[in-house]
Structure 1
Amino acid sequence: MTYLLSTYWPWMLIALLLGIAVGFMTFQRSVQAWRPVSWPSWLRLLCLLFVVGLVVAVLKWLPGLAGQYLEAALLLVGSYIVGYFAGSWLASLRAAEPAVQQQTAMAPAAAPVAAAPVATALASDGHPGQRPPSIDRVATPDNLKRIAGVGHANEIKLNELGIWTFSQIAAWNHQNAEWVGSYLAFPGRIEREDWIGQAARLAQGLETEFSRRVDHGDVPTSL
């Protein structure tokens, strides 16, 4: 093992840095993001293969040169996985910046909404952007939890704002997304997770990878 570490450490470093970059860019910033069920399918498969390979290596089922190649591959894959979760952790820290700091920095943006009485009242609470239009509860509300990033808590908060359908979210502009993101205390998350794009597809009766998992009961937080 010492020989492998001394030989492959540059490649391990590259795999680690690549994992950090991918994890930082693709991490789903939601309450269920650290649970395996919310990981990308390719990551779950990679982790499974890593565990299987680790068992084979520990039990020495592949002797000789084949076993050495397996151990080298495990070092590289393990470095990538560690890097991925390190990048995800860094991204989650960035997403969890105090909402007060975000609101203070963007406070001047609240002034232009003075023409809308409802939006003006809520802007005084420090929410930048513009509150999206609301409607009364519809007979058959859409299951907003089919949007990646919208769990039970967020769906309830959206309903309290008069948001019941995918078409409403699909019609949001940047200012609406900014206002709702501040109201829900995670500025920028709506844009990062593309709620509007997901809602537009769902409003047309189409599916997303996440909505299919929800429909199949594979996302416990959305049941």
Structure 2
Amino acid sequence: MFSAIEFLPLLLKGTLITLQITFISLAISLVFGVFVALARISNIFILNKIASVYISIIRGTPLLVQLMYVYFVLPELGLKLTPFASAIIGLALYESAYLAEIYRGGIQSVAKGQLEAAYAIGMNYSQAMKRVILPQAFKNVLPAVGNSAILLLKNSSLTSFIAVNELMHTGELLATSTFRSLEIFTLVAAIYWILHYPMTILVKQMERKMDIDSSQRS
């Protein structure tokens, strides 16, 4: 086991790529998910249907299939992408659909009287959403968003199937070339756990704070 430490620098390079993929796709989906959520609750029929179909397709098909589609099919349609870019697009589209549903639940959890009160003081719909509804909704869904981010980190390992040199792919290459699968994949698992653990603690702290705030209000 300890002799496999010699491969740690290569695995850490893969870890850096894993973090880049995770945080870039998360940043994109945090924003894009808001627009999808707003379209999903919109009274405009076409926006509502487009958002509904998008969410249904993403949630109803495996992430691996989506990554393969972006990497192999889009180039046939004239859009050539690197493995890294394909991973970002695939993960961002996937995560956005799930965050959109989380956001939608958060928006619907805000009392309807809040929107009516915003209208009463002269705000239009977009102002009310930006200044009143969305801030409260985001606060309500922070733990769920945190859990979704943790899953995204784990799901980033699937990008190894499209030749992204992230942590999992690096581990596979090392294990194949050295025949030391036990040591290498133990290190890979340990690194994923180390990345995951602080995020889990942060989510639990957010949940605890929300429970305290809820009990104080009641």
Common topology (TM > 0.5): no
Give the TM-score normalised by the residue count of structure 1: 0.28
Select the structure that is richer in helix: 2
Q: Which has the larger radius of gyration?
A: 1
